[in-house]
Structure 1
């Protein structure tokens, strides 16, 4: 197996992912038949119900055994299976190029796992970096597109200078359809993240936000006189790190997380805080499963 595949999607995880499926709290009308059960009635291999025959109905769907017993015509109804649109949007700004592993690398791993789950269920999958790199993102369906998905993910590089708002707006203009949208980001944007999430909601998306932070951002191991440089725009600040300042910083981070969580919960957006030091298999098969992203 190529190194890129092993790095983003470990072979021992693939079999576990094939037993999962993406969870949508809404019912979306798919464009093609897939492996996801719909509340609509149609034609498939799984029986759902009977109804009385009406002139003009397809005679091939009549249950003739039931007619022989009851002398009445009934139509057999089957569950219709349909595909789901799944979008994984990756924040590729410079601030995501932080940590060991970097937040961007973990975002790619997470997108690879969720994308593969969608491919296994014949959902329509699109993984895209926010910004110009997202313009070449393919739409995929079926497990045969695994390598195509991994190759695109491997090509994503940090340094996109567009805001979350601009990135999500451009994505929405270029892509149609409703479904599940998972935004993987650190939410570190001086213009804020609120408008970006409102755009996804206006598309009637089932929205999930995976808020990725490195352990060093939550509890920084800093001390002494330092010059801090903003990775996004190069702004600099000279500070003296002491216990009082660190406590104030931790309270600010905690308040930022609580504000984001509250903003999302009030708008029926599922918010998930994830640390980059959590193993990807645990993140997907336990953490995201417990929070209803997959089952």
Structure 2
């Protein structure tokens, strides 16, 4: 049975599975506070990592004096540093996202909630926001106790924020500081294109993931006959006759568009993740996102 708008975004069963996961970053970011993840950078903690030769100015407390007694050389003990990660979830809430059953927007909110909770469980800094001016009131969260604040914000998000992807990402870039993992949840339906928005995120040195959310009806329309199509965002109209030839051309166009997006992302080290709204969120998180290296 399809989820309804009144159902919780995350089931108790899924919350339990999410607690065992961890967000993955392909880049090394310098965190602001101690977290629960192991960094590839060396620092100070209780877990030993390696030795290196002492250099004038190093902390004398880290010298291994037992090794000095055996080798008559000064070595420093290095430890794995635990750090936090900043996770940004950017939700496209334009009117085109209010389509499907469940809607693309609901699936986007579920994915943002799921990934956000994974970050909260690992003491990462989590920012979940809608693209556009409304995103400015989105809180920056940390810790499991912040789950309900995150869910309350997501529940308040409605469709109708018809800003372009570029303007939405630009607004985010102006208000957000630092770098981290950025997941853009969108249907990529923007007449101005998606390229400039993704380039801006890359320019911020973000580790970028694009979750391309489409409904089955958009991939394989069930429509036939004479129809008037109305753009829900700018009210443009077009009258067409949907026959086998037109539908074949439409499917070819959709496949070509998806292929172009994949190529654009691949050339720029952006992880592209296709999401169908009829796929359970549990399957997306625990299988697809693991396969594509978003979580582990």
TM interval, shorter chain, is over 0.9
- Residue 270 of structure 2 is aligned to residue 269 of structure 1: yes
How many residues are aligned here?
A: 293
Alpha carbons 1:4, 1:154 under 8 Å: kept: no
- Residue 203 of structure 1 pairs with residue 204 of structure 2: yes
Aligned to 1:247: 248
Match of 2:50 in 1: 49
Corresponding position of 2:92: 91
In structure 2, stretches of 5+ residues that fail to align are none
Distance in 2 separating the partners of 1:57 and 1:247 = 68
Unaligned stretches of 5+ residues in structure 1: none
Within 5 A, what are the aligned runs for 1:29-108?
29-53=30-54, 57-67=58-68, 73-108=74-109
* Equivalent residues of 1:90, 1:184 under 8 A apart: yes
TM superposition shift of 1:65: 4.4
Is the 8 Å Cα contact of residues 40 and 79 (structure 1) preserved in structure 2?
yes
Q: TM-score, normalised by structure 2?
A: 0.93
Residues 151-201 of structure 1, C-alpha deviation per residue, up to 9 Å, x if partnerless?
A: 111111100021101000010010011111110000000111111001001
Q: Identify which range, 35-44 or 205-214, moves more after superposition.
A: 35-44
Q: CA deviation at 1:64?
A: 4.5
Map 1:177-192 onto structure 2 (within 5 A): 177-192=178-193
Which residue of structure 2 aligns with residue 286 of structure 1?
287
Partner of 2:17: 16
Q: Provide the C-alpha distance between the structure 1 equivalents of 2:106 and 2:120, rounded to a whole number of angstroms.
A: 21
Q: CA deviation at 1:76?
A: 2.3
Separation in 2, partners of 1:177, 1:21: 20
2:269 is paired with a residue whose SS is: coil
Corresponding residue for 1:227? 228
SS of residue matched to 1:8 = coil
Question: Quick one: distance in 2 between partners of 1:237 and 1:4?
Answer: 31
Q: Counterparts of 1:11 and 1:80 in 2: how far apart (Å)?
A: 32
**TM-score scaled by structure 1?**
0.94
Q: Indicate conservation of the 8 Å contact 2:133/2:171, yes or no.
A: no
- RMSD, aligned CA: 1.9
CA distance in 2, matches of 1:272, 1:234: 29
1:112 matched residue in structure 2: 113
Write the deviation string for residues 239-274 of structure 1: whole angstroms up to 9, x where unpaired: 221111111111111111111111111111111111
Aligned position for 1:172: 173
Instruction: Say if 1:245 and 1:50 are closer, same or farther in 2 by CA, change over 3 A.
Output: same
| CA distance, structure 2, for counterparts of residue 68 and residue 270 of structure 1 | 50
SS at match of 1:33: coil
Q: Given the superposition, is the C-alpha separation of residues 5 and 46 from structure 1 closer, same or farther in structure 2, using an over 3 Å criterion?
A: farther
User: 1-side partners of 2:268 and 2:70: how far apart?
Assistant: 53
How far apart are 1:99 and its partner, in Å?
0.2
SS at match of 1:221: coil
